[in-house]
Structure formats: structure tokens, C-alpha cells
Chains A and B, each alone.
Chain A
Amino acid sequence: MSTTTRTPLDHIRNFSIVAHIDHGKSTLADRLIQSTGGLAEREMSEQVLDSMDIERERGITIKAQTVRLHYKANNGEVYVLNLIDTPGHVDFAYEVSRSLSACEGSLLVVDASQGVEAQTLANVYQAIDNNHELVTVLNKIDLPAAEPDRIKQQIEEVIGIDASDAVLISAKTGLGIPDVLEAIVNHLPPPTSEGGETAPLKALLVDSWYDTYLGVMVLVRIIEGVLSKGQTIRMMGTDARYTVERVGVLTPKMVAMDSLGPGEIGFITASIKEVADTRVGDTITEDKKPTAHALPGFKPAQPVVFCGLFPVDAADFEDLRAAMGKLRLNDASFSFEMESSAALGFGFRCGFLGLLHLEIIQERLEREFDLDLIATAPSVVYRLTMTDGSERELHNPADMPDVVKISEIQEPWIKATILTPDDYLGGILKLCQDRRGIQTELTYVGKRAMLTYELPLNEVVFDFYDRLKSISKGYASFDYHLHGYREGNLVKMSIMVNGEPVDALSMLVHRSAAEKRGRDMCEKLKDLIPRHMFKIPIQAAIGGNVIARETISAMRKDVTAKCYGGDATRKRKLLDKQKEGKKRMRQFGKVDIPQEAFIAALKMGDE
């Protein structure tokens, strides 16, 4: 199925859906696809756009996804609607901003009973920054708790946009979906194209990913000109040239086309091998007839959390490198460089947008590439000023120079917005205080408190979000952005297991929190490290001073009572399993530490 007839600009609508997590973006996308016939009924599984296994299991959208819909409007005209689904979690704000820049409008989805949440605010401001027109959609009106009028009023008060003609829908039952489609056509602007079809090609590289069959695939938004099969294109940022092999659109199935014209969104393949050749935000042009001006592009995603990822089996190092290369294709916001550790051998120091991002990347590496990995303590980026006046960045506590050579340590701070029902305010204030937060604002949005805090990022990366959710029983919402560096009274805390320092567990902590952190870590490790045949002391230390200690007592008894001729096979197989299990552990001196321990040890318990 290929087409050559170009869709006129005014019959195209490119839009994103922005919402707080769980307000129903993915479900709404499903309904839109379904009601425009993008997929046959039997191909619809729930949340079709969340195609990665992890997304389905965790019920979240990680990667922005795109789909092209054909919609016959009430006015009798057929429109091409390009929808980009976006992730809702704060860690993936970069993906959101990228998707937004390829569109002219957004559907702002708000849960009609929950109302405005922290990510509603963050995402809507991003959409406004991108000059988007907004169609407000109140979802889940099938729920008895839905209060559309109150939420409309809230949107107007808090966000300051007109919500009087908000569309009331239930993405679950399908109610109101035709109204959403009409609103897209009638209220969102079509794309504009100065030069039109005849201008030299100018296209935005929106995204790229790796497809097992087709190799590197690139999602593009055509600004001007035409992108066709067989054309030689040039990436203006990297200056790489390719011959376009395939052009197509996602419906969300891949459908081949001969070309893409102004305003359209689609994919191309071009035998691209190098990760570095597809820089998200780059401008694609035609090699022999280039455009005069490149697009401004995006500022690259700044990783805020770093950790080491090491293969459990040293022989997997090259496989890990290859796997990271492929994942990086799908995820421009993840970075890595080689690292070696005394305890863990060769691996990579990786940068992530947040802790969820870290966990997801680790899980994908293990699952999709069948690797066993050890993740070390996540760290933020510290800035060190040395006594000789020089400055350097510290991504890894293990690399911390001798304290006498450091004159100042600075750490990143964030500005966080938290919305919560009143009932949980006390608990949340305490949490923020415990994490060295400075309150800058406390106002009310209807019955919900809206808090603004400045917080050191290193107090937030590990488990702040989990704690916030548990304190508020899931009702509080949270968003943040970086807010500069400040000096901090930070010390390096080392962890010793059976007398041996485990560099992968060392971390920088604020002096005032060191004792507590040390105690928590020792207690956690006590639970995470299985009993051995001997007793194992666990200590936390600053410099030479032990600030906390625990002891894992020796195992008392571990012997099978009955073992006769028939049991040899069973016992041997058990032994094989134990050997496998040992591979998932790391030996520190005589102690086997399970790989999960490295990251689990950092999650603080209920305080």
C-alpha cells in the first residue's frame, strides 16, 4: 500500500497528548486509533502504543510513540491526524519535550475526579512553551467521583487557560471520543510550511530506534520540501549522508509510502549503523539541494543520575557494550562510558534522567539482551573546587580525591512542586525537611495543597518518589526541574563488608545525615546479604571512623537430612542452581553479595 497523493497542509493535524501519569493518555490513544480504524478490532489489545514488555507490565509509557490516523470529519473531509503519545513520569520529561516540538497542538488530558496534578502543570507549561494550542479533555467521567465542573474551574484557576469548552469523555467506555476528534480538527491548527513542497528538504529528526528487522529507524517531521525513497539525505549536525531506503508511516503498523511532504510525520530507514549519526533534534536535508538554515535543534538531555553497570560475568563485557549501543539508539537521554572498578572489573558509568529511568534501562538490558548486571550506588554530579583553584565534576564517589585537596564541594539542587490532599501534608513536610528541603511556597488549589520546595538532588534520586507515594497513599504528585548548584557539607561514606571496603557502595552524603544513612545501609545490607558459614561484620565509615555497624550471624544449619541413591540427581541439579545463583553474586573477600543488593541497599525504609 503506497500513496503518492500529498495531503494538503490544512488537512493535517499533528498533536500530542499531555497528562499526569494514569490520567488516561494511553487509553485515549487506543480509542482514537480504534475509532478511526487504524487497527482492526482484533488487533486492539489494551494500550496498543505501550508495546515494550516493561511498559505493559509497569503500566507506564516510556517511549513516546507515534501513530497516523485517517479521520473523516463531520464536514465530510478526510484529515490525517498524527498523534504522539508521551510518557508521564518526571524522569522522561525530555521525551515529552521532543514530541511536543514536532506538533502544533496538544490534548491536555485531566482526570475528572483527580484534577490538576504536578505533572499536569509541568507538561502543560512545556506545551505552552512550544506555542501549542490546547484542547482540554476531562477523562474518566464515567466514574461516580467525577466532578467536571469543579475540575474545569480548577484548571482555569491553576493553569490559567479557558476550560469552558473542555471535552468530557470516558476513554474507557468510548464516550465523547467523536467530540475529541472534532475538537482536534476544529481547534488545533494545521502545520505551516513556509517553503512548501518545492523548497529544499528540511526535516526534524524527532526520534530514532532500533528495529530488529529494519535496523535503525528514524522518525521525522517534514518542515519543508519532500523526503522520498532513493533520495540522498544529509544530517546537518553530523554531516553524515545516506540513501533513503524506506519511507513510511505508522498506523501504528508500519505502512510504506513513496514520500513524505510538508507537515507530515513518518519514518525512514537508510542503512544507518552508527548511533552517533542519528542525533535527535538534528535537521535532515537533501544532500544535493540543501536547505539554507538548519532548525534550532534540542539541547541534549542532561543525565542527572549516574551509576556503574557491570556484567556479572566479565565475559559479557562486549555484549554489554553492544547492547548499550542499541538501547542508546532508542533512548537519546541515556549515556555511557567505560569504567573499571577494583571490585567489579570492567563496566560502564552510565547517566540517566532519574532512578526510574535507571531501573528501566537495567531491566531492558537484562531482559532484551539476556545480560546479568550489577548496578552500583546511583550518584548525582558533584562539582569540586580543588585547593589549587581548579574545578572538576565528580560522577562517581569512588573517584573522590583526597579530602585535603578539596576546598569546596557543590551539589545540584532542584525545585520541586508537590500537590497533595491536605491529610498527607504533615507527612510530606516532614519528608522534605528530613531531606534538607527548603520550603518556598505553600498554597491551595481547591482542597489540595501545592508545595514548592528546593531540595538537594542527591536526597531525591534514590527513593524520594517512592516515599512520597507511600506517605500519601499514592495521592500526592510530584515534578521537578534542576535549579543550580550549591555548596554542601558533604562527606564520603564507605561501606565495609567483612572488613573489606566495597567501593561500589560508597557514596557522598550530607554530614548531618551520615549517621542515619550509615545505619540504614548497614541494616539493609544485613537483610540483603544471605547468611554465610561465618559471621560477617558490616560497617559504615567516614574516613577511618566507623559510624555504624551490624553483624550477620553465621548460618547454624544447612544440611539435607536424607540423601540416598535416588537423590543424587536431584541434589546435583540443586547444586547447579546454586552455582547459577553464585554467578548472580559478587565476591568481596569471602562474602557473596547478591547483585540486587547494590541498588536495594540505597532505598531507605519507612522512617
Chain B
Amino acid sequence: MLETLDPKTARIIPLTEATEPGFGVYVHWPFCAAKCPYCDFNSHVRHQQVDQARFVAAFKAEMAAARALSGPRTVTSIFLGGGTPSLMEPATVDAVLSQIGQLWHMPDGIEITMEANPSSVEATRFRGYRAAGVNRVSLGVQALNNRDLKWLGRLHDVEDALKAIRLAREIFPRMSFDLIYARPGQTVEAWADELRQAVDLAVDHLSLYQLTIEEGTPFFGLHKAGKITVPDDDMSAELYEATQAITAEIGMPAYEVSNHAAPGAESRHNLTYWRYGDYAGIGPGAHGRLTSGGEKFATATERHPETWLAKVETEGCGFVDCESLAREEQADELLLMGLRLREGVDLARWQALSGRDLDPAREDFLIEQGFIERLGNSRLRCTPKGMLVLDAVVADLAC
């Protein structure tokens, strides 16, 4: 398909000035080679070969069900996430993307992202994905030193990560990678050094997550037992502030809490989530937001891969939830997603959904304290200081 295209000239639909949320399609690949001890994503390890043809058929069936709900729409981005989507055969990816093109209007050049693990990167597969239409890759690098990679339970080492980054830059028009910081004992200096290396390796996008101890993961138990000590609030605030400073300095400021990009290089797909647009969620444990007949539906599918497969095969789709969201619920979601963005949230839209104004006393207080600010054209956003306590700001404004 796009095999002959020069990565450097591949046309990416530019972000419009207006913050049009768009319509994205998310497809979940629920398998990994090993389970990382911090991860609570819907990812599973299988020791037998996964029958990818069966999954393709099920993805197709479920997409048709989502299409029935969404009606005809123009897709603005596609995201293949996981788990480890780079364990998919290129043919699987090709089949999935073709089906999306069959069901919805899919203009040329829209952003098509795939998550990949550095441990499962091979040049031939990368070329295969590229040929199938993937034009952006997001690599789970996580750390740039072997000790921490090991502690994070990763299967790759720094050398693998560098190789994967090189290959991704070579093959895909756009690429980004993820790092996890605020690791036990990590100092601001050590992290700043690592981040500067990362910035040198990056093209124009980085996702930088502070380690979260998620319930139900091995780290959760260790943390509770006192065997893992993560940086306290003060320390993680310092690490966060250092991250903001370094990325801003080199021209990749945060456009979202944990996402950094050169202007114009933001992830179109993820913006759809934060701008509270519509998206179809396909595959085990995927969530969607689809507007139909003036209502906004929240969909969720069966999480367990094989159960999902069986469900789709017998019932035509794996939805376990498809509830119409009340307008106040939509208002809450708009606010909690939108305030994550540097561009903030459109208050007129929030007012229309919630049917009320922000409590003026609270708003004034938060403004006076320097947590939020009003922009022109009815937008509200967090200041950098407010971003650090975003969850509290949202709770204060939403209640």
C-alpha cells in the first residue's frame, strides 16, 4: 500500500486550529510476552500460539456492531493498543485497517498509531506494519538504564531500546516512546540526565508517566508490605516540575499531563479522548464513546480474551456494557478529560451538558490561588501549578 512512500514526506493531516474532537477507532490486542509487575492493563500471557485469524474475524464482527451504533463517520485516527500489538502479524493489522476503511470513511493520511515493545521489534515486521498503513509507532521504552528496566520486569535492555528507536525512526513517518519515572530512589538529577538522553533520541513526541502503583498488580502487594518505596508527594512534585522544565526548554512542552510534543506533533488519537470526542473501542476490554440518535453511549467489552472471542462468535459483538450517559455524566467526563490538556476545556460545552455554571466563588478562589485560568473564547484550563493537583481541581469544580 504505502510501501514506497518516503517517511519524511508522508502527509499527516495537520491539527486544525479549532479543537475539533474527531472520531477515533481503538483496537485492543490483549497479549504480551510477559506481564510487567506494575501493569494493570488488560494484557495476558499465552503459552500457545494465538489464533490470529479468529481474532481478525471477531474484530471485524465487533467493528460492524460499533458501526451500526455510530452510523457513518469520518475516521480521524486509529490506534492499535495493548497489551503488545507488535505481537500481531502484519497481515492481522492489514485486515483490521482494511475493515475500518470498509465500514467508515477513512481519508488517506490519517494518523494510524501502533504500540510496540522494544523486545519484539524486527525490521521486517515493522516494514509489514508500515505497509499495512501504520504511520506512527509508540515504543514502550520505559527506562534508559538496565538496572531499572530489570526492576520494571521488562524483557528488553537499553541496547534493544536504542535499536527499536532507530528502526522506528527509519521506517515510520512519526514515532514516540514512553518512559516511566518516579521510580524508587530516583533523584531529580538522575532523572534529568535520563530525560535529556531521551529527548535526544526522540523525534517530536514523548510520553512520560510517573509510576503508579495500581491495585491488583504485584507492585501493589510489595508496596503495601513496605518492600517498595516510591517517591513521596513532595519528591514526585519535584520530579514532575523538572520534567516540565526540561521538555519545555527543548521545544516539546506538555500538551497533556504526561504527554509532550513539538507543536503540531501531538497524538491526534489521544487528543480525541481528552477533547471528549467519539471513539469506537474494539477488542477485549476496550471502551468506547459513541453518539447515536443524540445520546452518547459508553461501551465496554468483555475483558477476558477467549471469553470475548466466544461472545463475539456467538452474539456478534463482545459488548458487556452499552449505557446511555446522562448529560451530567458527560459533563463530568468532559471536565476530567479536558482539563488534562494544556489547551483546557470549552466551558460553553460543559455548561450546555451540565445545565449550570461553575460555582463562581469556587472558580474565583481557584483562579486567585493560581490553579486555573480563563482563556478567551470561554476556555478554562489549569495553570502548571494547577496541573500538579488536577484531580483535586476537578473534584472541586465538578462537585
Query: Which one of B211, B300, B390 lies within 8 Å of A559 (CB-CB)?
Result: B390
Q: Are B398 and A575 in contact (CB under 8 A)?
A: yes
Contacts A559-B391, A560-B391; is A568 near B337 (CB within 8 Å)?
yes
Q: Are A569 and B332 in contact (CB under 8 A)?
A: no
Check B26 for interface membership: any CB of A closer than 8 A.
yes
Query: Which one of B209, B298, B398 lies within 8 Å of A569 (CB-CB)?
Result: B298
- Chain B residues with Cβ below 8 Å from A557 are 233-234, 236-237, 240, 388-389
Chain A residues numbered 519-542 whose CB sits less than 8 Å from any CB in chain B: 532-534
Contacts A558-B392, A578-B399, A582-B395; is A565 near B26 (CB within 8 Å)?
yes
Query: Which one of A532, A534, A563, A582 lies within 8 Å of B337 (CB-CB)?
Result: A563
Q: When each residue 588-600 of chain A gets 1 if its CB lies under 8 Å from chain B and 0 otherwise, what string results?
A: 0010000000000
Check B340 for interface membership: any CB of A closer than 8 A.
yes
Q: Are B389 and A533 in contact (CB under 8 A)?
A: yes
Q: Are B281 and A565 in contact (CB under 8 A)?
A: yes
Check A144 for interface membership: any CB of B closer than 8 A.
no
- Chain B residues with Cβ below 8 Å from A590 are 365
Chain B's nearest CB lies how many Å from the CB of A129?
Answer: 56
Chain A residues numbered 542-582 whose CB sits less than 8 Å from any CB in chain B: 555-566, 568-569, 571-572, 575-576, 578-579, 582
Task: Kindly state the separation between the CA atoms of A534 and B396 in the bound complex, as whole angstroms.
Answer: 13
Contacts A533-B371, A557-B237, A559-B388; is A564 near B273 (CB within 8 Å)?
yes
Check B177 for interface membership: any CB of A closer than 8 A.
no
Task: Kindly state the separation between the CA atoms of A569 and B287 in the bound complex, as whole angstroms.
Answer: 9
Task: Kindly state the separation between the CA atoms of A560 and B388 in the bound complex, as whole angstroms.
Answer: 9
Chain B's nearest CB lies how many Å from the CB of A216?
Answer: 41
Chain B residue, CB-CB nearest to A534 = B369
Q: Are A571 and B273 in contact (CB under 8 A)?
A: no
Q: Are A560 and B369 in contact (CB under 8 A)?
A: no
Chain A residue, CB-CB nearest to B180 = A561
Q: Are A578 and B237 in contact (CB under 8 A)?
A: no
Contacts A533-B393, A569-B298, A579-B398; is A562 near B209 (CB within 8 Å)?
yes
Q: Are B389 and A563 in contact (CB under 8 A)?
A: no
Q: Are A568 and B336 in contact (CB under 8 A)?
A: yes
Q: Are A555 and B289 in contact (CB under 8 A)?
A: no
- Chain A residues with Cβ below 8 Å from B287 are 565-566, 568-569
Task: Kindly state the separation between the CA atoms of A555 and B288 in the bound complex, as whole angstroms.
Answer: 33
Task: Kindly state the separation between the CA atoms of A192 and B281 in the bound complex, as whole angstroms.
Answer: 83
Q: Are B395 and A565 in contact (CB under 8 A)?
A: no
Task: Kindly state the separation between the CA atoms of A558 and B273 in the bound complex, as whole angstroms.
Answer: 21
Q: Are B333 and A572 in contact (CB under 8 A)?
A: yes
Chain A's nearest CB lies how many Å from the CB of B211?
Answer: 8
- Chain A residues with Cβ below 8 Å from B103 are none
Task: Kindly state the separation between the CA atoms of A562 and B210 in the bound complex, as whole angstroms.
Answer: 8
Task: Kindly state the separation between the CA atoms of A579 and B335 in the bound complex, as whole angstroms.
Answer: 14
Chain B residue, CB-CB nearest to A590 = B365
Q: When each residue 191-223 of chain B gets 1 if its CB lies under 8 Å from chain A and 0 otherwise, what string results?
A: 000000000000000000111100000000000
Query: Which one of A532, A555, A565, A566 lies within 8 Å of B233 (CB-CB)?
Result: A555
- Chain B residues with Cβ below 8 Å from A556 are 233-234, 236-237, 388-389
Task: Kindly state the separation between the CA atoms of A582 and B394 in the bound complex, as whole angstroms.
Answer: 13
- Chain B residues with Cβ below 8 Å from A555 are 233, 389, 392
Check B367 for interface membership: any CB of A closer than 8 A.
no
- Chain B residues with Cβ below 8 Å from A576 are 332
Chain A's nearest CB lies how many Å from the CB of B186?
Answer: 14
- Chain B residues with Cβ below 8 Å from A572 are 329, 332-333, 336
Task: Kindly state the separation between the CA atoms of A569 and B399 in the bound complex, as whole angstroms.
Answer: 17
- Chain A residues with Cβ below 8 Å from B24 are 565
Chain B residues numbered 139-173 whose CB sits less than 8 Å from any CB in chain A: none
Q: Are B258 and A562 in contact (CB under 8 A)?
A: yes
Check B270 for interface membership: any CB of A closer than 8 A.
yes
- Chain A residues with Cβ below 8 Å from B398 are 575, 579
Check B90 for interface membership: any CB of A closer than 8 A.
no
Query: Which one of A533, A558, A568, A582 lies within 8 Å of B333 (CB-CB)?
Result: A568
Q: When each residue 255-287 of chain B gets 1 if its CB lies under 8 Å from chain A and 0 otherwise, what string results?
A: 001100000000000101100100101000111
Chain A's nearest CB lies how many Å from the CB of B126?
Answer: 23
Chain B residues numbered 301-348 whose CB sits less than 8 Å from any CB in chain A: 329, 332-333, 336-337, 340
Chain B residues numbered 358-399 whose CB sits less than 8 Å from any CB in chain A: 365-366, 369, 371, 387-396, 398-399
Q: Are A566 and B333 in contact (CB under 8 A)?
A: no
Q: Are A578 and B395 in contact (CB under 8 A)?
A: yes
Chain A residue, CB-CB nearest to B281 = A565
Q: Are B336 and A569 in contact (CB under 8 A)?
A: no
- Chain A residues with Cβ below 8 Å from B288 are 565
Chain A residue, CB-CB nearest to B286 = A566
Q: Are B395 and A568 in contact (CB under 8 A)?
A: no
Q: Are B389 and A569 in contact (CB under 8 A)?
A: no
Q: Are B289 and A568 in contact (CB under 8 A)?
A: yes
Q: Are A565 and B392 in contact (CB under 8 A)?
A: no
- Chain A residues with Cβ below 8 Å from B391 are 558-560
Task: Kindly state the separation between the CA atoms of A563 and B392 in the bound complex, as whole angstroms.
Answer: 15
Q: Are B399 and A568 in contact (CB under 8 A)?
A: no
Chain B residue, CB-CB nearest to A530 = B392
Chain A residue, CB-CB nearest to B40 = A562
- Chain B residues with Cβ below 8 Å from A575 are 332, 336, 394-395, 398
Query: Which one of B210, B233, B389, B399 lies within 8 Å of A561 (CB-CB)?
Result: B210
Chain A residue, CB-CB nearest to B391 = A558
Chain B's nearest CB lies how many Å from the CB of A559?
Answer: 4
Chain A's nearest CB lies how many Å from the CB of B107?
Answer: 21
Q: Are A568 and B273 in contact (CB under 8 A)?
A: yes
- Chain B residues with Cβ below 8 Å from A571 are 333, 336-337
Task: Kindly state the separation between the CA atoms of A37 and B329 in the bound complex, as whole angstroms.
Answer: 58
- Chain A residues with Cβ below 8 Å from B26 are 565
- Chain A residues with Cβ below 8 Å from B337 are 563, 568, 571
- Chain A residues with Cβ below 8 Å from B240 are 557
Task: Kindly state the separation between the CA atoms of A579 and B395 in the bound complex, as whole angstroms.
Answer: 7
Chain A's nearest CB lies how many Å from the CB of B367?
Answer: 12
- Chain A residues with Cβ below 8 Å from B298 are 568-569
Q: Are B257 and A559 in contact (CB under 8 A)?
A: yes
Contacts A559-B388, A561-B212, A575-B395; is A566 near B285 (CB within 8 Å)?
yes
Chain A residue, CB-CB nearest to B181 = A561
Q: Are A565 and B289 in contact (CB under 8 A)?
A: yes
Task: Kindly state the separation between the CA atoms of A575 and B394 in the bound complex, as whole angstroms.
Answer: 8
- Chain A residues with Cβ below 8 Å from B285 are 566
- Chain A residues with Cβ below 8 Å from B272 are 565
- Chain B residues with Cβ below 8 Å from A560 are 212, 257, 390-391
- Chain A residues with Cβ below 8 Å from B340 are 563
Chain B residue, CB-CB nearest to A581 = B395
Task: Kindly state the separation between the CA atoms of A557 and B388 in the bound complex, as whole angstroms.
Answer: 5
Contacts A566-B285, A569-B298, A572-B329; is A559 near B336 (CB within 8 Å)?
no
Task: Kindly state the separation between the CA atoms of A251 and B185 in the bound complex, as whole angstroms.
Answer: 67
Chain B's nearest CB lies how many Å from the CB of A372?
Answer: 16
- Chain B residues with Cβ below 8 Å from A566 are 281, 285-287
Task: Kindly state the separation between the CA atoms of A534 and B270 in the bound complex, as whole angstroms.
Answer: 32
Query: Which one of A533, A534, A561, A565 lies within 8 Å of B279 (CB-CB)?
Result: A565
Q: When each residue 218-244 of chain B gets 1 if its CB lies under 8 Å from chain A and 0 otherwise, what string results?
A: 000000000000000110110010000
- Chain B residues with Cβ below 8 Å from A559 are 257, 387-391
Chain A's nearest CB lies how many Å from the CB of B22?
Answer: 12
Task: Kindly state the separation between the CA atoms of A377 and B96 in the bound complex, as whole angstroms.
Answer: 65
- Chain A residues with Cβ below 8 Å from B399 are 578-579, 582
- Chain B residues with Cβ below 8 Å from A532 are 392
Chain A residues numbered 213-246 whose CB sits less than 8 Å from any CB in chain B: none
Chain B's nearest CB lies how many Å from the CB of A43?
Answer: 42
Task: Kindly state the separation between the CA atoms of A571 and B391 in the bound complex, as whole angstroms.
Answer: 10
Task: Kindly state the separation between the CA atoms of A558 and B382 in the bound complex, as whole angstroms.
Answer: 13
Chain B's nearest CB lies how many Å from the CB of A314?
Answer: 16
Q: Are A561 and B209 in contact (CB under 8 A)?
A: yes
5 A-B pairs (CB sep. < 8 Å): A555-B392, A557-B388, A560-B212, A568-B333, A575-B336
Extra contacts besides A560-B257, A579-B399 (14): CB < 8 Å: A556-B388, A557-B237, A559-B257, A560-B212, A561-B209, A562-B258, A563-B337, A563-B340, A565-B26, A565-B273, A565-B288, A568-B287, A569-B300, A575-B395
